[in-house]
Chain A
Amino acid sequence: MLSVSGLTAEIGKVPVLRGVDLTVREADTVALLGRNGVGKTSTLRAILGLLRRTGGSVVYDGTPLDRVPTHRLAAMGVGYVPQGRGIFPLLTVEENLLLGAPAKADPQAREEIYRRFPRIRERLRQRAGTLSGGEQQMLAIARCLVMRPKLIILDEPTEGIMPKLVAQIRHEIAGIARQGISVLLVEQNLRTALRLAKRIYLMERGQIVHEGTPESLQADPDIVHRYLGVSLKDLKGARQ
């Protein structure tokens, strides 16, 4: 579905991606992990065309994205939930959802969203910027879902969210994956990645340095410690 090979990019004259290779297959859930500043968000931004690519290729559903403008991606089935939610705070919750898709023409899609996120239905007329952090994140995911995407790219969806809501957001992402929508997830939270992903990529200095499954990663604590700086002992029972 999404194939990235040899992707390079620069910010100013500084190289931030040095040949990233990754694939996301249909109905796959892939996590991209790494410490701060290793290029996770830059990878997503380069895939989406928000950061100018200097080399390599990004192919989605057989189409090279070299000349595809960012606004076409939504129609091609790519949804993106950026870091820091990425909602429109001065618009109402309903307007944020309407921007995602012509939901009026598909009331079933809206009902599905409301069933999944009842808090959103309660706050339709409220300005999106007045929602709590967790609610804003749910709105960002809901707006993505009304676009009926085939691939959802999420950049640190649990960052800065109350622990009580983190579990709910994880639950929603797992639900999205069960629907057969492919998910590419950037995370700092190893527990979230281990619970949700079928495959995990580890990044270091703008490159993929390891690829594996949650099971293989848990069996190799040295790799986890070397690239993420955390101990697996602290995450005992993460897959449960």
Chain B
Amino acid sequence: MTVARVRAAALAILLVALVAVPWALPALGATFWVNIVAEILIWSLLAASANLLFGFVGLLSFGQALFFGFGMYGVALSIEAWGFGFWPALATGVLAASAMALVTGVMAVRLTWHYFAIITVVFSLIFYFAAMSMKWLTGGDDGISFSPPSVFALGGHTLSLGDATVQYYVILAIVSACFAATALVVSSPLGLRFKAVRENDRRAALVGINVYATRLIAFVLAGALAGASGALFAFFGRYASASYMFYHVSGEAVVWAIIGGSGTILGPLFGTGLLIVFRELVSTVWEHYLLAVGAITILVVMFAPRGLAGAWNGLVAGLLDRGAEEPRRAAIPEES
């Protein structure tokens, strides 16, 4: 068996498990956890956004919450102010976030390392305070509430987010599509340019890669992912709030991505899942559970620097290597 086959089998199992959630969890008496899994899926897109920049292009952004916020407000304002339906509102959220990423990225991707991290925080703070003060438009900390339009309507049949199962599957479908699109981009020639820029931007320029344009494309794509996450979260919570644009939200996404495995496709999903489940289980009994999250992060960085997904990949490769070694050893005749 090859590593690729094991990975494909694991992915199939994961997908089946995620599809079974709305039936399996209520059957186990854990209906509450269906919404937690939906929330994990949504936040994992924000972590995937931080991961696309950090894990594949080498840019550590603490500003992804800005695009998350634009995704939220794109949905809320387009429904409340313009009466958009579900899909146009979703597209508006993603486009608003992407446009904002383009505007800020034009300046931000000229910088790298800590300078880049700092400018992303600065942009995030500027727009956070702007959104907080423009209450007439954003509702500030209170936000904007709205009633979500139906997802699909045909001849009297409607699919509405009011049905928790429909809502879960809509979220699962959109999140899966985003992860699939990320995987496609990363394995394309553009993804190869991302990795080359991450490894050494000077060498990348010498083989003909426009480093600035490559970073800007990655920044806008990451903005679109964060926007999709924010748009879904707005539908999920039925509101948009400026408080989600604060940079600590971006920081959480970075931590989820690192723990899950930066530079891997599904790592952000695992990292987000682990830490949100941990939060749900521990925060009710221990107020300072974030101290434990910090300890987990330190341990992962020290002992599994490629995160959960990296450790899993290493384990599978190691086991398969050992499996292939045994028959080879058996085939070698013993010396007499």
Tell me if B193 and A99 are in contact (CB < 8 A).
yes
Tell me if B205 and A71 are in contact (CB < 8 A).
yes
Tell me if B208 and A71 are in contact (CB < 8 A).
yes
B196 — which chain A residues lie within 8 A by C-beta? 88, 91, 99
Chain B 187-227, CB-CB to A under 8 Å as 1, else 0, gives: 00100110110011011111111110000000000000000
Tell me if B206 and A99 are in contact (CB < 8 A).
no
B192: shortest Cβ distance to chain A, in Å? 6
Most B CB contacts (10 A, CB to CB) among A70, A86, A100 go to: A70
Chain B CB within 8 A of A143 CB: yes
A172: shortest Cβ distance to chain B, in Å? 19
Tell me if A88 and B195 are in contact (CB < 8 A).
yes
B192 — which chain A residues lie within 8 A by C-beta? 91, 95, 98-99
B189 — which chain A residues lie within 8 A by C-beta? 98, 102
Tell me if A100 and B207 are in contact (CB < 8 A).
yes
A112: shortest Cβ distance to chain B, in Å? 18
Please name the residue on chain A nearest to B214 by beta carbon.
Answer: A71
Complex Cα spacing A91 to B203, Å: 13
Tell me if A88 and B193 are in contact (CB < 8 A).
no
Supposing A98-B189, A99-B193 touch, asked if A75 and B208 sit within 8 A by C-beta, the answer is yes
Tell me if B203 and A86 are in contact (CB < 8 A).
yes
A100 — which chain B residues lie within 8 A by C-beta? 207-208
Tell me if A80 and B195 are in contact (CB < 8 A).
no
Number of A-B contacts (CB under 8 A): 56
Which of A50, A71, A80 is the one whose CB lies under 8 Å from B210? A71
Chain B CB within 8 A of A73 CB: yes
Tell me if B206 and A90 are in contact (CB < 8 A).
no
Supposing A91-B192, A99-B192 touch, asked if A48 and B199 sit within 8 A by C-beta, the answer is no
A135: shortest Cβ distance to chain B, in Å? 17
Complex Cα spacing A98 to B200, Å: 16
Complex Cα spacing A70 to B204, Å: 10
Which of A48, A69, A90, A147 is the one whose CB lies under 8 Å from B207? A147
A18: shortest Cβ distance to chain B, in Å? 25
Tell me if A143 and B207 are in contact (CB < 8 A).
yes
Please name the residue on chain B nearest to A49 by beta carbon.
Answer: B205
A137: shortest Cβ distance to chain B, in Å? 14
Tell me if B206 and A147 are in contact (CB < 8 A).
no
Please name the residue on chain B nearest to A128 by beta carbon.
Answer: B199
Chain B CB within 8 A of A131 CB: no
Please name the residue on chain B nearest to A48 by beta carbon.
Answer: B206
Residues on B lying within 8 angstroms of A by beta carbon are: 189, 192-193, 195-196, 199-200, 202-211
Q: What are 24 A-B residue pairs whose CB atoms fall within 8 Å in the complex?
A: A50-B202, A50-B206, A70-B202, A70-B206, A71-B204, A71-B206, A71-B209, A71-B210, A71-B211, A80-B206, A82-B203, A86-B203, A86-B206, A88-B200, A90-B195, A91-B192, A91-B195, A91-B196, A91-B199, A99-B192, A99-B193, A99-B207, A99-B209, A100-B207
